Structure 1
Amino acid sequence: MGPGRARGAYPDPMSRIEDLARFAAVDGGYDDLWAWSVRDLDAFWATAAAHLGFELPGPALAEERMPGAVWFPQARVNYAAAVLDGRPDDEVAVVGATEDPAATHELTWGELRRRTASLAAHLRDLGVGEGDRVVGFLPNTPDTIVALLASASLGAVWSVCGMDYAASAARARFEQLDPVVLVHATSYVHGGKVRDRSDVVAELAGALPTLRATLDVGGPAWAEALAADVPFAPVSVPFAHPLWVLFSSGTTGKPKGIVHGHGGALLEQAKVAAYHFDLGPGERLFWYTTPSWMMWNFVVGALLTGASVVAYDGSPAHPAPDALWELSARLGVTANGMSPGYVAACQKAGVGPRGHDLSRLRRVGISGSTFPATSHEALQDELGPDVQICSISGGTDVVSAFVGPAPTLPVWPGELSRPCLGVALDAFDESGAPVRGEVGELVVTRPMPSMPLHFWGDDDGARYHDAYFDTYPGVWRHGDWITITDHGSVVIHGRSDATLNRNGVRMGSGDIYEPVEALPEVREALVIGMEEPGGGYWMPLFVVLAEGVELDEALDARIREAVRSHASPRHVPDVVIQAPGIPHTRTGKKLEVPVKKVLAGQDLGGAYDPGSVDDPELIDWYRTVGRSRRTR
């Protein structure tokens, strides 16, 4: 099946998005519902809130402006209460899983509520109150979810780093917040090994002078903190009260602390989970993530629908490359999520969903980078026609999705089905005019409830404004190249801040990665566009090859031909270079911009934290490549 053809729609009986349309009395299909949702934001969000079961007195959108929209000013909410209130005590809420199947354990809604109430009481005894910061250095376990919910229930502000972060990277984030409590583990599991991080914890605790207490989730104090049987008593806070701080990657500057509010986060996350992934009671979501990535927050947000979730501490490829598929089968998940890289690695290893009992699986989410059409088609053939592949694209910035699936929509390989409900998405050219069928900037022209309240420490709002609103005044520019197709889907081409602009033609890096990384000899690729003195332009393609493979003339020619035939002759790189590795952020994104800077000889300086990179030594390798080219 070619990339221009769509798989059939997936009309679940009485899907939640269809029920919303009936509730709102909107006739027609998804496009009619979306058009109403962005035309009348006040009515849509008031209706969606009511349909989702949230009591939010109006108006929904009291003041429309970007930045600074005012949502539900009369409402008082609490994220933890929205998760826990009214849930059946004896049904499973969270499944904790590791690489050892025997260590799997379950928390019912009743136990999750009790532990959250007990920890909240303990934090309150430590003096934690509204606006105080509680931070976590933790793996992806049920305890981490309890810590977030307990913090949120008090009106405190939560922030967390996964345990693969170096001490310098965690400190660069947490020291901005002046936290009063650090919740931590001392180890995590990955690749069959227990990774001891007690030295990092000690360094981190010593670097945060505002701490009143530390809590080790593996120690007796934690067990005591969870042991009390006290009422769950969440405080009501304004809709825009800060809930958590998520941080940008920190690879090109000081990590930005992105602050979201209770109300905006709960509305947006419930919307995506319920309407776009059709999650609710009886469903179970497992998405491979770490607490450092916004997808962890997205997983927790699925609890807002009454669905259960899986918290997995471990490697996606241990003890075998198809570990995530095995886990999905064993735990009976109805929706799982993974990266395009994981899907490609499974396909190259000759493993995947086939052979696992995935009879309960209805949706497979894809996020983190562009998903090649060839990988999509191969995965769909393995899954069969009854499982929908749900590619989504959003960001830490809004802790939600801009574009994604819906149960009633078709899916085109290599494309994302539609803009999400309530997201006034468009593609703009350089002059700010909408474009169709050609590459443009991803923009959002009207507010979303989960747009940041502000950046932490950005008292005058200058960093916030410059991050999103300096190109098109009053319009959110996200920093992605997209194409809105003639059938309404969206194609993501890559980051616009890493633009390939050869002879005045803008190109997305994703259009090059797809054919190159589909070759069995290539594990991963990185393309960079370099403006050079005298008007020159150099576009190298770095490739990491499969074990035992070396770059020779024949493979070089195959790579070039793959790019030429899949994309265009202008996409063909100037040179193909075998590299020892591709550097990533801790959440798996390729470091296109930092690599471009070091190739050009720019000093990343104090703004760059090696602890934010999965393999900092690779940066020095690329710096050497750049130096060699400049001295020829």
Structure 2
Amino acid sequence: MTTEQIWRPNPAQTQRPQILDFIDFANQRSVQGMVSYDDLWRWSVDDLDGFWGAVWDFFDVIADEPYTEVLADRSMPGATWFPGARLNYAEHALRAGLKDTRADEPAIITIKESGERTEITWRELRRQAGSVAGWLRAQGVGQGDRVVGYLPNTHHTLIAFLATASVGAIWSACAQDYAAEGAATKLGQLEPTVLFAADGYLWNGQAFDRRGQVADLANRMPSLRAVVGIDDLGAGALNGQHPLTGLVAWDDIAWDDTALDFVRVAFDTPLWVLYSSGTTGIPKGIVHSHGGVVLDHLRLLGLQLDLRPSDRLFWYTNTNWVMWNLASSALLTGATVVLYDGSPLHPGPRRLWEIAADTRVNVLGLSPGILLAGLKADLRPGDKLNLSSLRTIGATGAPVPAPCFPWVRDAVGERVQLGSVSGGTDVASGFAGPAPNLPVWEGELSAPILGVALESWDDDGTPLTGEVGEMVITAPMPSMPVKFWNDPDGERYRDTYFSMFPGVWRHGDWITITDHGSVIISGRSDATLNRQGVRLGSADIYDVVDGIPEVAESLVIGAEQPDGGYWMPLFVVLADGVELDDRLRERIREELRTKASPRHIPDDVIAVPAVPHTRTGKKLEVPVKRLIQGHPLERVANPDAVDSFETLTYFARFAEAGDPVG
């Protein structure tokens, strides 16, 4: 069965994409004859030195000296990129403000759930970042020190990060929906010097005062020299009923005209620390470098998403998620970044589309769940709102359900490209996704991303086409982590990615590479369903079931039983007013039988009140599976890594009650 090609590049509808200019640029550097994306991708993985050197030069990366070598050591892990080059992320992110023609254009647009809007120009962004950086220096903060944020998604967070990066210190952040104890399991690992913290945040029409949690968090991190309080909610001074040592107000450190002075550092110098979801155990601190992020994000945003100077990018995220870091990197391209802090569905499912229209966004990033909510609400944003500036929608966090592709075409606009992206916190980047000169197939990711030597392997390491296999990366990427925090010998790092295939990155996803070069994500390989030896991806089931109007959300697991049996239940959250009767159960089974395969039919269909997720929105298939198999709740998941631990507790009670497990 041939998948429908849902979108094709149309030069009559869009301006010439940068990726075509890059092909011309690469051809002029003695690489002759490249025409197509496939030509470019093949060269990008066969000649890593040539490709990444071209990215460096095409985007005019700033360094102390011109590079003399691109890839000095290809080992994985341990690749050595651009030895001797010294650069700084913040210098690249702020350089648009040096141009008189751009200085008074907006660099950041912040929108709160309340509707309050703040615009900061490139000139003002440089001034505030310089002022905060000067204050950090006065506190003795320098290269290698850690600065952390307990913050919502506003301009304060982005400015604090840029100031931190400019002085060569290391940044890490946590959203305020984490309690102090959960935030400390992440941020406390770093023994930070300075904490930036807001008084609270808005969510779903409600204000959450976090002043007590800020004080608790600060007390859990004895390494702190100072706390910077941000009056974002208007709750009042942080030190009210919760005294804090070394407290200073944001307005007292962001007002002067201290000149920006960037500390240029080696390519592999740590820039930020991100965290794994931490569903079990202490979250892994994943360390990425200045050089790796600058080079990778220029490639990803500038070529794959075609983001250009004066464009606008709005990616709905929070400060917990790697997408916050990627969205911030819109500044590297000279584009404006739109930040939103609040619920994506308050006061209704049109909210993010309204923001995109009001801010004239060119690239919009959403989770598949938001697209599905629009589809189920029968929204037609393209009819009701002015989305004439919008040319690309990026979606990540989970596979995009197939029905969302025709919905975007019909309800948003046929000229708008829906690009499903697969990547991860692990590389702060993508592995597969769209490109402006590639078509989009329904339910698929258009291609491996440039510079990503992506393959699908069987258990023996044999490459596969048209069959499900392990996603592997066979050549180094600049944005692969330089290390894990508190992993001095690298054992945890190697075990996470390189234990199955030594010297080859195994990501932990099941994928299929199609005969036309696209990529299909079938779910996590450790949560893969296995019916009579045939591997099934949970995404294949969600594509069908989540498209049924009576079903709000679903979760499927495959649990191996001690007696050798195998139980594959489907848990469904029903739409309001819907009852799970035999008729609906049979309809779900029939939809799966006809739209997926008879192997995808669950053993049981069970109604549940909610589906548990990580705080970045991924369904907790593996923890639920382990509960069903009899593992204790305290060993299955870290409460602070789950969006609703009560929901996971429900599944623990379900397992204990002896409901059918075979």
TM-score computed with the length of structure 1 as normaliser: 0.98
Pair 1:40 & 2:47 matched: yes
Corresponding residue for residue 13 of structure 1: 15
Please tell me whether residue 525 in structure 1 is matched to residue 554 in structure 2. Answer: yes
Unaligned runs of 5+ in 2: 232-236, 238-247
Query: Which of 88, 98, 111 is the matching residue for 1:97?
Result: 111
State the shift of 1:350 in Å: 2.0
The 2-side partners of 1:598 and 1:302 are apart by 41
Structure 2 equivalent of residue 123 of structure 1: 136
Preserved contact between residue 90 and residue 109 of structure 1 (Cα < 8 Å): yes
Q: Show the counterpart of 2:596.
A: 567
Root mean square deviation, CA, Å? 1.5
> More deviation in 37-46 or 210-219?
210-219
Matches within 5 A, 1:160-559: 160-218=173-231, 221-354=249-382, 355-559=384-588
Residue 74 of structure 1: SS of its match in structure 2? coil
Return the match for 2:617 from 588, 592, 598: 588
Q: Is 1:10–1:407's contact at 8 Å kept on the other side of the alignment?
A: no
- Secondary structure of the residue that 2:201 maps to in structure 1? strand
| In structure 1, C-alpha distance between the alignment counterparts of 2:598 and 2:419, rounded to whole Å | 31
| CA 1:375–1:86: 2 relative to 1, 3 Å | closer
Which range is displaced more, 448-457 or 220-229? 220-229
Question: Hey, what's the Cα distance between the residues in 2 that align with 1:169 and 1:521?
Answer: 35
Secondary structure at 1:175 match in 2: helix
Q: Is residue 2:68 matched to residue 1:58?
A: yes
Count of matched residue positions in the alignment of Structure 1 and Structure 2: 631
Separation in 2 of the partners of 1:86 and 1:185?
28
1-structure distance, mates of 2:628, 2:374: 32
In structure 1, how many angstroms separate the alpha carbons of the residues matched to 2:165 and 2:360?
29
Cα gap change, 1:606 to 1:593, in 2 (>3 Å): closer
Residues 379-429 of structure 1: CA distance to partner in whole angstroms, max 9, x if unpaired?
Answer: 211122211111111000000010111111000010000101100000000
Could you tell me whether the CA contact under 8 Å between 2:103 and 2:122 is conserved in 1? yes
Poorly superposed stretches of 4+, deviation over 4 Å: none
Contact 2:626 2:636 in 1 (8 A): no
Tell me how far 1:3 sits from its aligned partner: 3.7
2:55 partner amino acid: A
**SS of 2:291's equivalent?**
helix
What is the DSSP-based 3-state SS (H/G/I as helix, E as strand, rest coil) of the residue aligned with 1:23?
helix
Amino acid across the alignment from 2:24 = R
Question: Cα–Cα, structure 1 residues 425 and 196, in superposed 2: closer, same or farther, change >3 Å?
Answer: same
CA shift, 1:13, in A, is 3.2
**C-alpha distance in 1, partners of 2:77/2:640?**
31
2:644 counterpart SS class: coil
1:347/1:398 CA distance change after superposition, 3 Å: same
| Aligned equivalent of 1:106 | 119
- Give the corresponding residue for 2:240: none
CA deviation after TM superposition for structure 1 residue 631, in Å: 8.9
Instruction: Decide which of 70, 75, 78 is 1:68's aligned counterpart.
Output: 78
**Deviation at 1:375?**
1.5
Find the counterpart in structure 1 of residue 25 from structure 2.
23
Q: Could you list the per-position Cα deviations for residues 403-460 of structure 1 after superposition, in whole angstroms to 9, with x for gaps in the alignment?
A: 1111110000100001011000000001000000010111100000000000000111
* Residue identity matched to 2:551: V
One-letter amino acid of the structure 1 residue matched with residue 323 of structure 2: M
Q: Which letter maps to 2:255?
A: A
1:270 shift after superposition: 1.2
Residue 95 of structure 2 is matched in structure 1 by 85
Whether contact under 8 Å (1:264, 1:450) holds in the other structure is yes
Give the 3-state SS of the residue equivalent to 1:534 in structure 2: coil
| Aligned residue identity for 2:162 | L
Would you say the 8 A contact 2:379–2:411 is kept in 1?
no
**d(CA) in 2 for partners of 1:210, 1:297:** 25
* Cα displacement (A) at 1:7: 2.1
8 Å contact 1:10–1:388 — kept in the other structure? no
Amino acid at match of 2:251: A
Q: Deviation at 1:176? A: 0.8
- Structure 1 residues 156-165 or 344-353, which shifts more? 344-353
1:10 CA displacement: 4.1
Aligned partners of 1:376, 1:139: CA distance in 2, in Å?
31
Letter aligned with residue 301 of structure 1: S
The residue type paired with residue 460 of structure 2 is S
SS at match of 1:215: strand
Deviates more, 1:437-446 or 1:346-355: 346-355
Structure 1 residues 140 and 10: alpha-carbon distance in aligned structure 2, compared to 1, 3 A threshold: farther
- In 2, Cα distance between the equivalents of 1:268 and 1:335? 18
Report the Cα distance in structure 2 between the residues aligned to 1:109 and 1:490, rounded to whole angstroms.
38
Aligned-pair distance for 1:349? 1.5
In 2, are the aligned partners of 1:373 and 1:413 still within 8 Å (CA)? yes
Letter in 1 for 2:319: P
1:325 touches 1:352 (CA, 8 Å); kept in 2? Answer: no
SS of the counterpart of 2:394? strand
Quote the Cα distance in structure 1 between the aligned partners of 2:10 and 2:213.
47
| Post-superposition offset of 1:285 | 0.3
Distance of 1:506 and 1:253 partners within structure 2: 28
Question: What residue ranges of structure 1 are gaps of 5+ in the alignment?
Answer: none
